[in-house]
Structure 1
Amino acid sequence: MTPPAIRVVLADDERMVRTALRAILSAEPGLEVVGEAATGAEAVSVVRAVRPDVVLMDVRMPETDGIRATEQILATLDDPPRIVVVTTFENDAYVYEALRVGAAGFLLKRAEADALVQAVRLVARTDSLLFPSAVRALAAEHARRSAAPPAWVGRLTCRESEVLRHLAAGLTNAEIARLMAVGPATVKTHVAAVLAKTGTRDRTQAVIAAYEAGFLNAR
């Protein structure tokens, strides 16, 4: 049985960019562009109306930028789409803020068409995160670190710490389960514990919190 098409919304204030993205994605089997938006506010409305699986979100848009649009979508929908930030500069502070509020990752606008398609399929079909190696540099440049690590660092069990490191590597629950030789349900329980102890809503925010705390540099 053929799986349903991955439904995508494009949010970018440049019509030419949206046209190019639509052409790339529409040419691929199993991908369907179901909406477009030229502003952040419009992106929120379109996503609420069509309920896509994935949103490709520009961060710099008029009215409401991509950060606030991402935050609103993730906070107000029961089953929100995966949001991938598409940006010109990988070290942009806007990108880091979008990750902090829950975006599943980011892509550069100069990325090859194959990389774009692969990214959409990855975030739609798995619980993996699109965290290129540049995220560590982003964290170093933009994270607001405190003088001492937060209390949650000391409350994580060894297993939870291991799971958090795997999340930062972009691994899915199934991949983590194989590495740790446990069942997926056990990994899901550990992930839930990590979110609760870090006070974060989702995997992305937990990983960002780990970078900000310096946890991922600890051994």
Structure 2
Amino acid sequence: MTETTYQPVVAWSKPEQERAGTPLLVLFHGYGSHEQDLMGLVPGLPEEFTVAAVRAPVAMGPGFTWFPLMHEPDFSVDKVTKAVSDVVTWLDSVKGQHSSVSVLGFSMGMAVATSVLRHRPEEIAAVVGLSGFAVPADGNGFFRDDAVKAIKPPVFWGRDQEDPVITADKIEFTHEWANEHVDLTKVLYSGIGHGINAQELSHVKEFLTYKVLNVR
């Protein structure tokens, strides 16, 4: 019996024949959403990137989730690492044709993006986290935070201090983790709540241009 490679549902910004040699930016949506949700960001991102938006694996209401919410009884770090392992397996199947790999996550998607970084820090050029958080490792060896700290990869974290969704404990942990382990660009936006505005998207474009496209 042959082992099949995990193949998530993916929305692409470029047709397959135009992807070779381009930098890849992988988008991870939030809880209860889907792969098309963040594709609206593409016109505001650097055109050099091939953008791939990945659908989370677990059906949830009208959309999908990567893992249970952290306050729910069936949440576990193992469920986070399972979802991220599957993403990394898929990444391994596509990364060879790209000049670099960066990741962007919104809300729970930021937890996925930062977890991909923490598992494969040598392979991720940059991380963008929007209105989201990172998950505590709880001693799980999947998260190679010492290797992340040695590299200090560039991470952009944008959020509204009045975000009504992401709880204070998640923000506190993410601050502590990011300040210790990565080269952090943190920007606060007032009035966006749990969302993204044009100013933030322009900052993301600048960040990716400076930290990925202009690094040779």
TM normalised by structure 1 equals: 0.30
TM normalised by structure 2 equals: 0.31
* Bigger Cα Rg: 1
Which structure has more RCO (C-alpha within 8 Å, separation ≥ 6)? Answer: 2
